[in-house]
Each structure stands twice: as C-alpha cells, then as structure tokens.
Amino acid sequence: MKYVLMFVENEEFARELEAMSEDERQAAFEAVGHWFAEHAAVITHHAHLRPAETATTVRLSGEDAIVTDGPFVEGKEVVSGYAEIEVADLDEAMAVARSWPACPIVEIRPIT
C-alpha cells in the first residue's frame, strides 16, 4: 500500500529548533538525512515545503475562485514536508512514522 507521511511542525518545535546552537541544529538535520537513508527502500518521493507564508491559497466558491497570499487558515501546526512510502500495510507505515526524528507530529494518509 502507498501512504503519505505529512511532517507537522508546531510552535513548540519551532521554538526548540530556533533555540538550538548551530551544531545542535546541524545534528538534527543530519538525523533527518539518516532517517531518509535508512528508509530509502520504502520512500518513493519526498519534499520539504517552503514556509506557510509563501503559500498561495485558491478557495473555490461556485464559479469564482478567491486567491490569497499565504495559508488560508493560520494555525499552530503547519505541514512542513512529506514523504510518500510504499509498505505492506498501515502497521508498517506507523513503524516508519514512529522513527521520524524531527517534527513531533506525523500524519499518515493512504494514497488512492
């Protein structure tokens, strides 16, 4: 089965990342790189998203579309990246997600 893992940052995580020294931050980034290498056999695609303020939102309403700069909804949690994985089942997807070394939230969704 194919799943997408969405990596979600929250305000606390952002503060902790900001408070890290350059060496600590580099070690955190290296841990993420190691995670991707460790799971390369099941990752089919991945990307890091630019910050939410760089978004353009298109809100569809009937025949009209309303376009705004930035996210449509300001939230305390922001999806910062994703990885598509192909694994046997949800249990295996959860095992991969549990080992994620960065953002404190990983949302798992099946891909149809």
Query: Mind listing the pLDDT tens digit for each residue in 38-79?
Result: 999 999 999 999 988 888 888 888 888 888 887 656 668 889
Question: For residue 35, what are the domain limits?
Answer: 2-110
CATH classification at residue 98: 3.30.70.1060
Question: H or E stretch including 68?
Answer: strand 64-69
Please, are residues 65 and 59 in contact by the beta-carbon 8 Å criterion?
Answer: yes
pTM: 0.85
Of the two residues 106 and 73, the one the predictor is more confident about is 106
Of the two residues 71 and 92, the one the predictor is more confident about is 92
Q: How many domains does the chain have?
A: 1
41 forms beta bridges with none
The tokens describing 12, both together, are 């606390």
Please, are residues 40 and 86 in contact by the beta-carbon 8 Å criterion?
Answer: no
